[in-house]
Amino acid sequence: MRIGLTSGDIAKSNNDAILFLTQEQLKAFKKSSKPVLYDLVEDSLEQLSFKGKLGDIEVVPTKLGRVIVTGLGKEEKLTVETLRRAAHVALRTTSKMKIKAISAAVPDVSLTEKETVRALSDGFRLSNYEFDQHKSEKDSKYNRVAEVKIHINKLNKELEKTLLYSKVSCDATNLTRDLQTEDGDVINSEYLAKFAQKLAKSHKLKLKLLNRAKLKKEGLNLILGVGQGSRFEPHLIILEYNGDKRSKEKTAIVGKGITYDTGGLDIKVRWMADMQMDMSGAAIVLATIKAAAELKLKKNIIAVAPVVENAVGQSAQKPGCIVKSYSGKTVEIGNTDAEGRLALADALAYVNKNYKPTRMIDLATLTGAVVVALGHNRAGAWSTDEEMMFKLKAAAETSGDLIWEMPLEDDYEEYLKSKKADTNNISSYRTFMGLAGSTTAALFLRKFVKDTPWAHIDIAGAGMFEKRRFYRPPNGTGFGVRLLLDYFNQK
Ligand code: BES
Ligand code: ZN
Ligand code: ZN
């Protein structure tokens, strides 16, 4: 989809047009700021008893074409999220009417022009997505809108930059959604390894790829153990982007890449059919480093993804076995379905030791417990570093990829004790939904990060959901890409 800015008169454009209105504007416009389109629709809106609530929409035919009047709700409640949602509502109506090109009047609201333009563009782009490549009936395919022209008062370079940022970050989000939702036999660990190779080439990134033989040689036995029942070869992907050669700072973003999670021999009794999305973390870090390179962000980033399938079969890892991790710590595999933390533990320890990042952030569809705690709107976030948490929260607010801070409760570490090894991979308290199950998973990971400032984001809820919520489609949501990009894009 092309989205462009123009200072041209919207009344003179040949396109149908979107007009966003707050409830207050509907009642009384300040004379000076009354948009041209408003005169054309005022009487009709009265007859239609249009209230202007968020979600309200009316298509009004006028002598200058159709005007899609879209409510923004109350001004005092208006945020960038309101605009993203309203843009989604308008775009879906546009698409249903099979309109290919549309103009939109930028609303006059109490946000900066930059915030307004970005929010509208993000809302349009994130909404103009559907996972419909496997639908054969033409009618059941989504009608993508090809072009939006946003009409503003005065053009400037800063706003053009904002639009580019929106395009690159939303394209990366939509790419993540495709990778998440597609069949796990297609997006398998070998596919993702090849994907990383292509990305390294096209975006001039440094790549280190550890295949099965190299994982064995280096002793990343936790990753190997998770993958030993699969016909696909496991890999550890490490991609480097150096956008600031003068800085010693470098952040590792580490994504869980379980391309399918059957649970292993502790086979899943629920939710298995969604487990092609258990590589969401890997998809996010790959798409994020791609976008960071395209945007030429002035940051040094290492994208890390253990990509491996948790399968069942005669060679699958057995519950109760003991594995020596890359860090040297031995792990009793109390449950083969707690595989994400195993793969991540080796990945975190390996990158920490060999790349010496100044910070690490991991993203993972790690626990059902976080879905119970927070639902699908927010990811759970744990951190050993206050400043990282503060910056992540700020990025959550600007991007709309919301997080909620959770505690690294030291006292619960004893839940992970093992009688046979240095640690167990599950808590011994599994009664009543697992007793702080998402926190014990975070505490397990903390054992492998040493002193490096670290944050862990559990996206089991926010990353995937069967229901559409405004501009977030069902299945893979792409949550996390725009969060990370906004985090890196901070001053
Ligand atoms: N991939 C799952 C977590 C998950 C559940 C993601 C639902 C998305 C939706 C993870 O590997 C898992 O199975 N976790 C177990 C851990 C348990 C065995 C300690 C869980 O949450 O039940
Ligand atoms: Zn699992
Ligand atoms: Zn899993």
Residues with CB under 6 Å of ligand 1 are 261, 271, 278, 335, 337-340, 365-369, 371, 426, 437, 460
Length of the chain, please? Answer: 491
The answer to whether residues 116 and 109 touch, using CB atoms and an 8 Å cutoff, is yes
275 Cα nearest atom in ligand 1? 1
Burial of 418 (0-12, 13-18, 19+ CB in 10 A): middle
The answer to whether residues 120 and 150 touch, using CB atoms and an 8 Å cutoff, is yes
- CA torsion through residues 434, 336, 283, 472, sign: negative
What are the tokens at 412?
Answer: 């619960």
Q: How far is the CA of 11 from the centre of ligand 1 (A)?
A: 54
User: pLDDT tens digit string along 30-85?
Assistant: 655 778 899 999 999 999 999 999 999 999 999 999 999 999 999 999 999 999 99
Q: How far is the CA of 367 from the centre of ligand 1 (A)?
A: 4
What are the tokens at 477?
Answer: 């949501």
Neighbours of 64 (CB within 10 A): 17
- Distance, in Å, from the CA atom of 301 to the CA atom of 284, rounded to the nearest integer, reads 13
**What pLDDT sits at residue 60?**
98
Report which protein residue has its CA nearest ligand 1's atom 14.
367
pTM of the entire structure? 0.98
Question: Which residue from 269, 367, 467 has its CB within 8 A of the most atoms of ligand 1, so it is best to mutate?
Answer: 367
Q: Which residues of the chain have pLDDT under 50?
A: none
User: pLDDT tens digit string along 365-404?
Assistant: 999 999 999 999 999 999 999 999 999 999 999 999 999 9
Active-site positions read 268, 341
User: pLDDT tens digit string along 139-164?
Assistant: 889 999 999 999 999 999 999 999 99
- Distance, in Å, from the CA atom of 128 to the CA atom of 100, rounded to the nearest integer, reads 12
- Distance, in Å, from the CA atom of 276 to the CA atom of 185, rounded to the nearest integer, reads 8
- Distance, in Å, from the CA atom of 186 to the CA atom of 176, rounded to the nearest integer, reads 15
Checking 51-56 for CB contacts under 8 A at 24+ apart, the result is: 51/23, 51/26, 52/21, 52/22, 52/23, 52/25, 52/26, 53/23, 54/82, 54/85, 54/86, 54/89, 55/85, 55/89
What are the tokens at 165?
Answer: 């940022």
**What pLDDT sits at residue 372?**
95
What are the tokens at 154?
Answer: 């005065």
Question: Which residue from 279, 366, 370, 431 has its CB within 8 A of the most atoms of ligand 1, so it is best to mutate?
Answer: 366
